[in-house]
Each structure stands twice: as C-alpha cells, then as structure tokens.
Amino acid sequence: VTPPQLYRYNRYISATISASLATGVSLGEGLRTLDEIAEEVLDDNFNTTLSGSSKEFADGSSSILFAFLLALVLIYLTLAAQFESFIDPFIVMLTVPLALAGALFSLWYFSQTLNIFSQIGMIMLIGLVTKNGILIVEFANQRKLEGLHKNEAVFEAAVSRFRPILMTTLSTVLGILPIALALGAGSESRVSMGISVVGGLIFASLLTLYVIPALYSYLSPKEAQKPVALEEEVLEKV
C-alpha cells in the first residue's frame, strides 16, 4: 500500500506530525519531549526538523540568548569606561544573577513558563538592577576619595542610597504591575514578562543592599583611584 502522494520538505520525503499542547505544558517542554521520542523511535536514516511556530520558537530562543550576552558585555564595557576600573563594574554586574534568580523563582511560583516574553523581561532586568549597584558603588568611591576607609564608605553608601533605590524600584514595579496582572487586551501572553520583571526587581533590590556592600568591602582596593582628569589637574598645578 502506497500513499496517494508523497510530501517533500527541503527535497526530502517527509511526514508532518502536528500536535496540540496539553494544559499547563509549554511549547519548549513539548519540543523536548518530541526530541526524546524521536531519539528512541527513529534510527540514523531519519532526520527531524521544525516548522511553523515551533521553528520560530527555537530560532527566537537562540537569538534571545545572544541578545542577553551582548547586553551583559555592553553594560560591562560602559561601566568600565565610567568607573575607569574593571573591578567596580564586576561588582555592579553581580546584581544580575540575583535578578535572574528572583525572576525564575517568580515564574515558578506563579506557574508561568520560560518563554520568549519572560526572556525579554530578563534582558530588561539587566539594565534595571545594575542601576542600584551603580548608586552604591559610585557613592562609595566618592567617599573613599574623601579619605574614608572602604568599609565605612560602602556602609554609608548603602544607608544614604537606600531611599533612591527604594523609590526607583517601587516606581518601576508599579509601572510593570499592569502587565503582570494581565490588564488590557491581549495581555495574557505578556503576563510572564511582567512577573519576571517584578519578581526579579524586588528580589535583586532587597539583596543588593547586602550583597553589593559585602562584595565591595572584599574586592574593592583600599585606596580610591583618582580620575584621570583630576590627576592631570594636580600635575599642572605642581
């Protein structure tokens, strides 16, 4: 018995398998299950490929990963130029893992999936949470230039920058909250993005006040490095 016609995909004889996702199962989980079944059932003479929304999901996931890594590199280089140091940007960038942990926990707690929208939210978190570390590190560096020990400087920075960090965090959370609450037309698909941003921002902001001062006390040099412009001015006066 032969089929009435042969279907081809990229010049290969093909068979299309279509399926609907069960309730509570994400597209990524479905694709992983499909790959596991294909490895068990098919031999080396068969190949599998994706099409339609599945292919778009796979391509988008790889693009998001590249965008995430590129954002990390660009922010680190920008901070290195701003602080004229490679250590201070590293301290600031350590707020990103805290935000990612908070975002993943929030997605799990509210039964959301790691999809394209939640991944976009995690990229947004890179810029949102690093500003808190910048406020503390920048103020601590200024206090060190005035002669304070680095431990005293970073403690004073954490205390004095608490209000700005709290205000900016609350304003951002209130702005993202309508997305997390699925308010508006078609907002159900963007709920995961709002939850990841809100959860990651709250989690990182609370821990930043403890983690960044501790890392600064351990990694930052005891004496502050004077800016290049200030050093040139001193040399001219001498």
Q: What is the pLDDT of residue 100?
A: 92
Residue 67 has a CB neighbour count (10 Å cut-off) of: 13
Mean pLDDT of 8-13: 75
pLDDT of residue 84: 86
Query: Does residue 101 surpass a pLDDT of 90?
Result: yes
Total-model pTM = 0.72
Q: How far apart are CA 58 and CA 81, in angstroms?
A: 35
Domains, the chain, in order of start with CATH, read 59-237 (1.20.1640.10)
Task: Kindly report, residue by residue over 137-176, the tens digit of the pLDDT.
Answer: 999 988 888 888 888 989 999 899 899 999 989 999 998 8
How far is residue 188's CA from residue 179's CA, in Å, rounded to a whole number? 8
Task: Supply the pLDDT for residue 116.
Answer: 81
Q: SS3 of 118, please?
A: helix
Which amino acid is located at 115 in the chain? N
What's the pLDDT at 68? 86
pLDDT at 237: 54
CA proximity to 172, closest of 108, 136, 129: 129
Q: For residue 106, what pLDDT band results from cuts at 50, 70 and 90?
A: very high
pLDDT grade for 197, boundaries at 50, 70 and 90:
very high
**Residue 8: strand, helix, or coil:** strand
